[in-house]
Structure 1
Amino acid sequence: MPNQSIITFKDVVKEYDDQPILNHVDFEIEKGKFYTLLGPSGCGKTTILRLIAGFTDATSGEIYLDGKKVNDIPANKRKVNTVFQDYALFPHMNVFDNVAFGLSIKKMAQQKIVEKVKEVLKMVQLSGYENREISEMSGGQRQRVAIARALANEPEVLLLDEPLSALDLKLRTEMQYELRALQRRLGITFIFVTHDQEEALAMSDEIFVINKGHIVQSGTPVDIYDEPINRFVADFIGESNIVKGNMMDDYRVKFVGKEFECVDAGMRENEAVEIVLRPEDLEITAVEKGKLKVKVDTQLFRGVHYEIVCSDTDQNEWVIHSTKKAKIGAEVGLYFNPEDIHVMRFNETEEEFDARLEAYEEE
């Protein structure tokens, strides 16, 4: 049985001072999944979060929460809670009072408040911290207090607006694991906003890639990474080598003056396309064994791999991630498999892209 949609946007437009921020956005979010809204600053991802929460109104279109239209429902009447980038904790209150704040506003009985606060602090691994002052908490602990305060209200959807951005790299990584584990344990819907593509890939069940007020592509992290729909997605999600080419026929593509076998089909003969090859899919080999001949220009050690930059005779730049060191100035071959080549059409919509993939996957 398919999962039930908990949030639906139908042709939603949002304008500020007659400037469009969201352009006719449509999507559905299912219950019990971890979603990420991913895109550069100003793309509209936080606006989507604010529309779901009820902090701002749509210029036009319809928004549904659990099947009920909520355009005119105020924020405090929606089963949604938000964890903000700065956590918005009250510095003059201790942990207990911060977590209990929303419950007190609802005039819940004191004994029930105590039970609920203890329950949610246990969920976020902060049992025993009830009397700790906020000023005495680390960044990661403050984030968990903010999450506990949100969970105390028993939301159906938890919205997280770049809550990891203020943390150092090690703590960010730890909190990614904690958030993902918490979502799975609770089984409620998380909607996470970030501009960090590694964060999105690591944590999400599904990602919405947003650019200039449009959802450019949606899908699982693996689908979006392996099959980017256009140059923006390929560049934004991971590192990419992108060159121009022509689709000669089904499963045959030409770029940098040579024809190669590939796994893409369903395009016009000799159609102009763009080619993506990920750096980790390129293998440095002897010139005679390579499919391309390049010269090694620079390399940097990145810890788990060397990042090697090469160029071909047409001055195309090729970035390779390899565990083996290269020699600057050497001529080498680049080897890759047909399935490593991803072909992107110009101006293809996500619906056309999905239909084309389904067509040749069924062959």
Structure 2
Amino acid sequence: MSHTIQLEGHGIEFSCEPAKSVLDGALAAGYEIPYSCRSGICGSCRGRVVSGKVEGGLGGGLTAEEEKSGHVLLCQAHPCSDVSVEVREVRKIDKNAIKIIKAKVYKMTRAAPDVTILQLRFPAGTRVKFKAGQYLSVKLEDGSFRHYSMANPPHQNDSVELHIRHVPGGAFSQKVEQGLAVGDQLEVSIPYGDFFLRGSDEENEGNKPIVLLASGTGFAPIKSIIEDKIKAKHERSMVLYWGARRPEDLYKMDLARKWESQLPWFRFVPVLSDAQPSDDWAGRTGYVHQAVMVDIPSLGSYEVYACGAPAMINAARHEFVHSCGLNPDAFYCDAFVSTKTSASQTIQAPTVAA
């Protein structure tokens, strides 16, 4: 039996079966609410249960305070009754905007010991509209999909650039390393995701300064965002903190340095977590999100866009909000997740005194 899900304050409702998460029900109905990892880790899809019951959705990217106030992770929460939830944003999905394309491999570059930059070209005359920061899906031979952020800006829309980190046993990264060749074709569907600058598709772009936070290949969508803003002659203040273990893992550091030297509105701070004496590293060390906290102890007037490892994103979101005064709704993220976790607790909307 399906239950009715209402998105509080948006005049939207849809049906959702108990076997589906609230997020999956929304997507199936043609509505996109904020989400990223879909594994209950990053916290992007948090929403507050106003009425009704859901099962699952606790832990992971939620704080104890959020759980107490009725927040759940909608990618893991399944309806047990009709439910009304508050969400940060909702957009109608334009299903006609999703294109399935046979893209051809035209260049492969080993950018770091465990990173390959893969460049795919679309068939002649094919161009795809997407927002800087979004991702595509690659279809594998077994019918499964792998998701990768596009590193090229939207005006370069006859091809895509993907930054592939090699994961031991990874189905696609292993193929890239051992079996993929220039000239091969891949089926991709594009675009997906809500990791993009807010205000960038409106006439009057927001004026809050921006912290861009990346770990590893989380640099890919950040690159797309910055190059899009360069094309638009943007002047909104941005600072990029890019974290990695060793210097060679900052595989596009020369490009980031070039941006910093040429753009008055852009600053770059590389941070290494495992620098060795042989690296001769004179820059910042430690956890990348903590470097942000040292430099900008008050984040109340900022927007943060974080991309990379879930552990980094969780730590950044929690500490930025609770220690630096960041508005929770001003933290946007894209978590690169390879494993799936779940929760099974039952949550009921809290009683609110009249």
Max Rg structure? 1
Give the number of the structure with larger relative contact order, counting CA–CA contacts within 8 Å between residues 6 or more apart. Answer: 2
TM-score normalized by structure 1?
Answer: 0.22
Q: Structure 2 length as normaliser, TM-score?
A: 0.22
**Structure with more of its chain in helix, by fraction:** 1
